[in-house]
Amino acid sequence: MDGYIIATVIKAILILAVISALAGFGTYIERKILAFIQRRLGPMHVGPFGVLQIAADGIKLFTKEDFIPSGANKIVFMVAPIITAATAFIALAAVPLLPEFTLFGIDVKPIVSDMNIGILFVIAMMGVGLYGPLLAGMAQENKWGIIGSARTAIQFLSYEVVTGLSLLAPIMMVGSLSLIDFNTYQAGGIGHWIVWTQPVAFILFLISGFAETNRTPFDLLENEAEVISGYATEYSGMRWGMFFIGEYANMITIGFLASLIFLGGFNPLWIIPGGLAIILKVAFFFFLMLWVRSAWPHIRPDQLMWLCWKVLMPLAVINILITGLVMMA
Amino acid sequence: MEAIAFYIFAILITGLFLVTAFSRNILYAMSSLAAGMVLISGLFFILGADFLGAVQLVVYSGAIMALYAFGMMFFDATRDVKEKNTSSYLVFLLSGFSAVALVVIFAAPTIGKHIEPIVTAPQGLDNPHAIGAVLFTKYLIPFEVAAVMLLVAMIAGIVLASKKMDESLSEIYLDADPETEKKEQE
What is the complex's ipTM, to 2 decimals? Answer: 0.76
What does the pLDDT read at residue A63?
87
Contact B68 A138 (CB under 8 A): yes
Whether B101 shows a pLDDT value over 80: the answer reads yes
Domain count, chain A: 1
Does any domain span residue A149? yes
What does the pLDDT read at residue A178?
84
Arithmetic mean of pLDDT, B149-172: 77
Whether B87 shows a pLDDT value over 70: the answer reads yes
Residues of chain A contacting B58 with CB distance shorter than 8 Å: 120, 123-124, 127, 160, 164
Whether B151 shows a pLDDT value over 90: the answer reads yes
Q: Please tell me whether residues B60 and B18 are part of one structural domain.
A: yes
Q: Which positions ≥6 away from B19 have C-beta within 8 Å?
A: B28, B29, B32
Contact B128 A116 (CB under 8 A): yes
- Band of pLDDT at residue B173, cut at 50, 70 and 90: low
Shortest alpha-carbon distance between residue A198 and chain B (Å): 23
Chain A contact residues (CB < 8 Å to B): 71-73, 75-76, 79, 115-117, 120-121, 123-125, 127-128, 130-131, 134-135, 138-139, 141, 146, 149-150, 153-154, 156-157, 160, 164, 177, 300, 302-303, 306
CB nearest to B58's CB, from A120, A149, A154:
A120
Contact B27 A138 (CB under 8 A): yes
Does any domain span residue A85? yes
Interface test with B, best of A117, A143, A177 (most B CBs within 10 A): A117
- Band of pLDDT at residue A47, cut at 50, 70 and 90: confident
Q: What is the pLDDT of residues A56-71, one digit of tens each?
A: 888 888 888 878 888 7
Arithmetic mean of pLDDT, B111-134: 75
Arithmetic mean of pLDDT, A81-90: 88
What does the pLDDT read at residue A320?
92
| Domain coverage including residue A181 | 69-328
Residue B7 CA to residue B43 CA, distance in Å, equals 10
Residue A282 CA to residue A289 CA, distance in Å, equals 11
Q: Please tell me whether residues B102 and B169 are part of one structural domain.
A: no
Does any domain span residue B131? no
Q: Considering only CA atoms, which of A151, A128, A149 is closest in space to residue A138? A: A149
Chain B contact residues (CB < 8 Å to A): 25, 27-28, 31, 34, 38, 50-51, 53-55, 57-58, 61-62, 65-66, 68-69, 72, 77-78, 126-128, 168-170
What does the pLDDT read at residue A321?
92
Does any domain span residue A4? no
pTM of the model: 0.83
What does the pLDDT read at residue B176?
53
Q: Cα angle vertex A160, ends A327, B73, to 5°?
A: 150
Interface test with A, best of B65, B131, B150, B171 (most A CBs within 10 A): B65
Q: What percent of chain B has pLDDT over 70?
A: 81
Half-sphere exposure of A261 (CA within 13 A, CB side): 34
Whether B168 shows a pLDDT value over 70: the answer reads no
Arithmetic mean of pLDDT, B69-77: 73
- Band of pLDDT at residue A232, cut at 50, 70 and 90: confident
What does the pLDDT read at residue B123?
73
Domain count, chain B: 3
Does any domain span residue B172? yes
Does any domain span residue A113? yes
Interface test with A, best of B45, B50, B172 (most A CBs within 10 A): B50
The average confidence (pLDDT) of chain A is: 84
Closest residue in A to B53 (Cα) is: A121
Residues of chain B contacting A231 with CB distance shorter than 8 Å: none
Q: What is the pLDDT of residues A113-165, one digit of tens each?
A: 777 788 888 888 888 888 888 888 888 878 888 888 888 888 888 888 888 88
Q: Considering only CA atoms, which of A239, A243, A238 is closest in space to residue A63? A: A238
| Domain coverage including residue B15 | 1-83
Q: What percent of chain A has pLDDT over 70?
A: 99
The answer to whether A265 and A186 are in contact (CB under 8 A) is: yes
Q: Please tell me whether residues B56 and B10 are part of one structural domain.
A: yes
What does the pLDDT read at residue A92?
87
Q: Give the C-alpha distances (Å, rounded to integers) separating A27 from A33, A55, A77.
A: 10, 11, 24
Q: Please tell me whether residues B109 and B164 are part of one structural domain.
A: no
CB contacts < 8 A (A, B) = 89
Residue A96 CA to residue A180 CA, distance in Å, equals 7
Whether A207 shows a pLDDT value over 70: the answer reads yes
- Band of pLDDT at residue B165, cut at 50, 70 and 90: low
- Band of pLDDT at residue B170, cut at 50, 70 and 90: low
Taking residue A316's Cβ as centre, other Cβ atoms within 10 Å add up to: 25
What does the pLDDT read at residue A214?
81
The residue ranges of DSSP E strands in B33-156, in sequence order, are none
Q: Please tell me whether residues B186 and B145 are part of one structural domain.
A: yes
Q: Which positions ≥6 away from B56 have C-beta within 8 Å?
A: B37, B40, B41, B44
Residues of chain B contacting A135 with CB distance shorter than 8 Å: 27, 31
Does any domain span residue B182? yes
Q: State the amino acid at position B136 in one-letter form.
A: F
Phi, psi of A141 (to 5 degrees): -85, 80
Residue B127 CA to residue A158 CA, distance in Å, equals 29
Does any domain span residue B88? yes
Does any domain span residue B107? yes
Contact B25 A123 (CB under 8 A): no
Residues of chain B contacting A123 with CB distance shorter than 8 Å: 58
What does the pLDDT read at residue B12?
92
Q: Please tell me whether residues B31 and B70 are part of one structural domain.
A: yes
Bigger pLDDT: A102 or B45? B45
Rg of chain A over Cα atoms, rounded to whole angstroms, equals: 20
Does any domain span residue A26? no
Closest residue in B to A129 (Cα) is: B61
Does any domain span residue B117? yes
- Band of pLDDT at residue B5, cut at 50, 70 and 90: confident
We report the CATH number of the domain holding residue B20 as 1.20.120.1200
Q: Please tell me whether residues B56 and B91 are part of one structural domain.
A: no
| Ranges A228-237, B138-147, B167-176: which has the least confidence | B167-176
Helices of type H across chain A? 2-37, 53-63, 74-92, 118-129, 131-139, 143-174, 179-185, 194-197, 199-212, 224-227, 237-261, 274-295, 301-306, 313-328
Q: Please tell me whether residues B117 and B145 are part of one structural domain.
A: no
- How would you class A186 by CB atoms within 10 Å of its CB: exposed for 0-12, middle for 13-18, buried for 19 or more? buried
Q: Which positions ≥6 away from B21 have C-beta within 8 Å?
A: none
Phi, psi of B98 (to 5 degrees): -60, -40
Q: What is the pLDDT of residues A266-315, one digit of tens each?
A: 877 777 787 888 888 889 999 998 888 888 888 888 888 888 888 899 99
The size of chain B, in residues, is 186
Q: Give the C-alpha distances (Å, rounded to integers) separating B142 from B55, B128, B132, B155.
A: 19, 19, 14, 20
Shortest alpha-carbon distance between residue B78 and chain A (Å): 6
CB nearest to B78's CB, from A72, A117, A123:
A72
What does the pLDDT read at residue B183?
53
Whether B111 shows a pLDDT value over 80: the answer reads no
Burial A39-71 (b: 16+ CB within 10 A, else e): eeebbeeeeeebeebbeebeeebeeeeeebbee
Q: Please tell me whether residues B20 and B57 are part of one structural domain.
A: yes
Rg of chain B over Cα atoms, rounded to whole angstroms, equals: 23
Q: Please tell me whether residues B6 and B63 are part of one structural domain.
A: yes
Does any domain span residue A13? no
CB nearest to A157's CB, from B31, B62, B168:
B62
DSSP secondary structure letters along A140-186: SS-HHHHHHHHHHHHHHHHHHHHHHHHHHHHHHHHT---HHHHHHHT
The average confidence (pLDDT) of chain B is: 79
Q: What is the pLDDT of residues B6-25, one digit of tens each?
A: 899 999 999 998 888 888 88
The answer to whether A153 and A135 are in contact (CB under 8 A) is: no
Q: Please tell me whether residues B9 and B39 are part of one structural domain.
A: yes
Closest residue in A to B168 (Cα) is: A302
Q: Please tell me whether residues B101 and B46 are part of one structural domain.
A: no
CB nearest to B127's CB, from A73, A117, A130:
A117
The answer to whether A52 and A210 are in contact (CB under 8 A) is: no
Q: Cα angle vertex A222, ends A221, A226, to 5°?
A: 100
Residue A323 CA to residue A197 CA, distance in Å, equals 9
Q: Give the C-alpha distances (Å, rounded to integers) separating B112 from A302, B8, B98, B105, B121.
A: 51, 23, 20, 11, 18
Does any domain span residue A41? no
Residue A127 CA to residue A153 CA, distance in Å, equals 11
| Ranges A7-21, A214-228, B41-55: which has the least confidence | A214-228
